[in-house]
Amino acid sequence: MSDSVHVDVEVFVGVDVAKGDHYACAITSTGGEVLARPVRNDEAAIDQLIDDAGVYGSVALVIDTTSSPASLLLEAAAHRQVPVAYVTGLAMRRAADLYAGAAKTDPKDAWVLADYARRNADRLSWTSPSDELLAKLRILNGRDADLAADATRAASRLRDALLAVSPALERAIGDKVTTNPGARDALARWGTPTALRAAGKARVRTRIAKRSPRTAQRLTEAIWAALDAQSLTSHSRDRLGRHHLRPRL
């Protein structure tokens, strides 16, 4: 199916794939959400999803994995001649950063997939599932899984380094430095509690806001609360260093 298929799509159904129950969210080409619900990973439930979304117009499915749990979904789409768009995990993570709210949930992921496809339909490759396509997608998905594993390892090293410098700081923003580019930039610029204090709230907030404007104020307050909670800093490992923060996770 050609890339121009997006012209005919009226309902984008983002599906957060899981072993037992997927979660689906359907958004029309004009931005209206028309359904959002769990979908059991069986043929009847998937067919019903396609039928229910089809009430609002021509349907396309949008997924971010082609692993085994997605196999039946892809087969059902092929049988019903429903186009499928694959969004790589990296693209999905970047897309999720654009939407408010840091919590990762199945409903949010399904909604982001649908809305991302709706907004970027002209840049997506729309295809019909086939054996050749699935083989290519599985190779791509495997590569993305390898990158995700590398990112996880890098994140673990980074949090360990942060923990060695300041447990209070790690508790406050440790789970943010892997997903929030503004937080990484601030720590790369001022890699010790002493340096952060010397920079001052205003400069730190401005640095974070350059890449993460929505969270700049909240993260800055969290950093300062952590600095106030711990005055001692390990002298043996008192700097994160740019080599810990260079990977763009």
Model confidence at 26: pLDDT above 90: yes
Domain that holds residue 165: 150-245
Residue 124 lies in a domain: yes
211 shares its domain with 120: no
Residue 134 lies in a domain: no
114 shares its domain with 206: no
In this structure, what CATH number is given to the domain that contains residue 86?
Answer: 3.30.420.10
Residue 138 lies in a domain: no
173 shares its domain with 114: no
Q: What is the pLDDT of residue 128?
A: 57
Q: Report residue 8's pLDDT band, with 50, 70 and 90 as the boundaries.
A: confident
Q: What is the DSSP letter of 27?
A: E
Q: What is the pLDDT of residues 78-110, one digit of tens each?
A: 888 899 988 876 666 666 666 655 556 888 889
Q: Is the pTM of this model over 0.85?
A: no
115 shares its domain with 162: no
Domain end marker among 129, 160, 188: 129
Q: What is the pLDDT of residue 1?
A: 44
Model confidence at 237: pLDDT above 60: no
Domain end marker among 60, 95, 129: 129
Asked if residue 109 lies in contact with residue 95, where contact means CB atoms within 8 angstroms, the answer is no
The number of distinct structural domains making up the chain is 2
180 shares its domain with 214: yes
Please give the C-alpha separations between residue 174 and each of 8, 65, 169, 179, in angstroms, as whole numbers: 44, 27, 7, 10
219 shares its domain with 110: no
Which residues have a Cβ under 8 Å from the Cβ of 130 and sit 6 or more positions away? 78
